[in-house]
Amino acid sequence: MDRRRFLNASALLGGATLLAPHAARAQAPALITRDGMRPQMPSGVQSGDPLADAAVVWTRGDRPSRMWLEWSTTASFANTQRVRGPHLLPDTDFTGRIDLRQLPPGQEIFYRVMLQDLHNERVMSEPLQGHLRLPGAAGRSPLRNVRFCWSGDTMGQGWGINPAWGGIGIYEQIRRLSPDFFLHSGDTIYADSPIPAEIKLANGDIWKNLVTEEVSKVAETLDEYRGRYRYNLMDEHIRHMSAEVPQIWQWDDHEISNNYSDSKDVSADARYKEKNVPLLVARGTRAFMEYAPMRRFGDEEVERVYRHLPQGPLLDVFVLDMRSYRGPNGANLETEENATSAFLGRTQVDWLLDGLRRSKSVWKVIAADMPIGLQVGDGKDASGRDKWEAIANGDNGAPRGREIEIARLLRGIKQLGLHNVVWLTADVHYTAAHYFEPARAQFNDFLPFWEFVSGPLHAGGFGPNKADATFGMQVMYEKAPKEANSPPSDGLQFFGQVDIDARTRALTVTLKDLTGASLYSKTLEPRRA
C-alpha cells in the first residue's frame, strides 16, 4: 500500500489511538517526513510459536521507539485490528515482540508493524508487512493438510553471507513451499565461529563473505552475541522467509560456544579474552531470548526453551532443550541416573511424558536439538577417555550415562502406548533417516520409532557419524560430504519437509537439498494404541 495513503488512513481510522496511549490527549495526524528521518526496521519482521489462536510477532528498530501492529484476516487489511506493543530501547538492542492473542483459529493472518519515534511521537516508520497461517483448533472441521519444514545450523564454520553466491538461498527454497511453520532445530547462530572476509576453496576459488565487526571474532560481549543475530538477518532470503513463515526456534550449543556444558573450559583458547564461561552463557542466553520469535514464560523460568506447541488435531509439537539441564560432558558411562548423567533433566522428561499422555493429536513430533543414536564426540578427558557431547557413548551395550535417562523416556512412551511419535533433529551437519527397532537393540523396552536428521542450513558439511547400538538404530538413508567442513557451494546443505494428509492422516517426511530437490521420502501410517 502507498505509504502516504497508509498513514493518512491510520490517522482517519483512529490515529489518536495509534499515536498516543491516552485517549484524552489530542494528536495531530502522523507527520510525513523523509524516509531517512523515520524509524527503520533493518532486521525485518518475524513471527513465531503459532497456536490455534495466537502467535508472536517480532521486530528490531534502529532507535528508541514504540512498536505498533495492525492485523487482519485479509490481504487488503479490511476490518483491521490495532495493537500497541512495547518500547524498543537499547537494553534489548531495540528488539521487541507482541504476543497476539484471541486470533480467529485456523485463519491466515496478515500483519504490518510500525514504529513510533520516541523523540517525536508524530513520526512513524513505514509499515513492514508479514503473514502467518494459524493451525486449526481441536473440534473444528474440515481438517486441512499440514506442512512444515525443519533444519538447523546457520552461519557455521566461517561460511557467511556471500552475495556473489546468492546469499542464503536455502531459506528461499523453504519459503516457496509455503509451510505452516519452520522449525529451526538449534545452532541459530555460531557465536564461536569467526567469519573471515575470504576463504580459499579446494578448487582454488575464493569464497567472499560480508563481514561485520561483531562476527569477525568469537562472541564474548553481549553486543557481539547480538551482532550474530543481526548479521543473519542481513540476508534478504532469511528476512523474506521470516516475514512469511512462522518459526519455532530451539537452541543448541553454538548460541553460546561449541559443545558447552558444565565442563566447558576456554582457559586455553587464545581466541577468548573472557574466560568466565557462565558469563558467556548469560550473555549468549540474553541475546537468544531477545532475538528468538518465541513466547516467553513467566518469572518462574524466564529463560525456558522447552515447550509444547499444539498444531491442531493432526499434530502436536514438543520442543526440547538438550542443553540447559545436562550434566558435564564426560565419559558418559554412569551406571545410574544422577546429576552427572542428566541430559534433559528429570523435570523435562516428566513434562514430556505428561504432555504426550495428554495429547489428542494424531502425530506427536519431538523436536530435538541432538540425535539419539549417533556418536558425537567432545575430545578426551584428563584420563584420555573419550568425552561425549550427545546421548550415545560408543559403548554399544546396555544403557549407561545419558542413555539411562533416554531409556526411561522411551519406556514411558511405550507404557503410554504411543506409536505415532516421530523425532526430528539436526546438529550433525548432514541428512539421514534412522529407524529404531527393539529387536536389534541392547535395550528393547520401547516401541519402534523413526528419527529424521536434516542440516546444515548454511554451515560446513560433516559426517556421517558412527551409530551406537544401544537402542537398535538402523541407518535407512544418509547423505554426507566426503570431506569435513564442506563449503555450502558443494551443495551439501539440507532441510526436511513434513506433510500430514488430512484425509488419510498419513505423515510423509521428505529430505531435501538446498535446490529443493527431494533425496529421500518415507510415509508413515498412523497406528492406534
In the chain, domain spans: 35-133, 146-524
* Residue whose cell numbers read 538449534: 186
Residue 61, pLDDT score: 98
pLDDT digits (tens, 9 = 90+) for 165-177: 999 999 999 999 9
Average pLDDT over residues 458-484: 97
Q: Is 35-133 in CATH node 2.60.40.380? A: yes
The 10s digit of each residue's pLDDT in 311-343 is: 999 999 999 999 999 999 999 999 999 999 999
SS3 at position 115: strand
The mean pLDDT of 76-84, rounded to a whole number, is 95
Percent of the chain with pLDDT over 90: 89
pLDDT band at 248 (very low <50, low <70, confident <90, very high): very high
Neighbours of 194 (CB within 10 A): 16
- Dihedral sign, CA of 210, 216, 218, 222? negative
Cα four-point dihedral sign 89, 94, 99, 105: positive
pLDDT band at 290 (very low <50, low <70, confident <90, very high): very high
The 10s digit of each residue's pLDDT in 356-381 is 999 999 999 999 999 999 999 999 99
Average pLDDT of span 127-135: 97
What is the helix (H) or strand (E) element at residue 364, kind and residue range?
Answer: strand 363-367
- Round the average pLDDT of the chain to a whole number and report it: 93
Tell me if domain 35-133 and domain 146-524 are identical in fold.
no
Strand order in the sheet with 494-500: 95-100, 54-60, 45-51, 247-249, 181-184, 146-151, 494-500, 507-513, 518-524
CATH topology of domain 146-524: Purple Acid Phosphatase; chain A, domain 2 (3.60.21)
Helix (H), strand (E) at residue 473: strand 473-479
Dihedral sign of CA atoms 322, 323, 327, 333 in order: positive
DSSP class per residue in 63-85:
SSEEEEEEEESSTT-TT-EEEEE
Q: What share of the chain in percent tops pLDDT 70?
A: 93
Q: What are phi and psi of 99, to 5 degrees?
A: -90, 95
Nearest C-alpha neighbor of 125 from the set 207, 70, 188, 182: 70
Per residue in 384-424, pLDDT (tens digit) is: 999 999 999 999 999 999 999 999 999 999 999 999 999 99
Residue 7 has pLDDT above 50, yes or no: no
Per-residue pLDDT, 30: 55
Pairing state of beta strands 421-425 and 206-208?
A: unpaired
Say how many Å lie between the first and final Cα of the chain, rounded: 52
Does residue 136 register a pLDDT over 90? no
CB atoms closer than 10 angstroms to residue 445:
12
3-state secondary structure of 345: coil
Task: Please give the single-letter amino acid code of residue 220.
Answer: E
Q: Does residue 5 register a pLDDT over 70? A: no
Per-residue confidence band for 33, with pLDDT thresholds at 50, 70 and 90: low
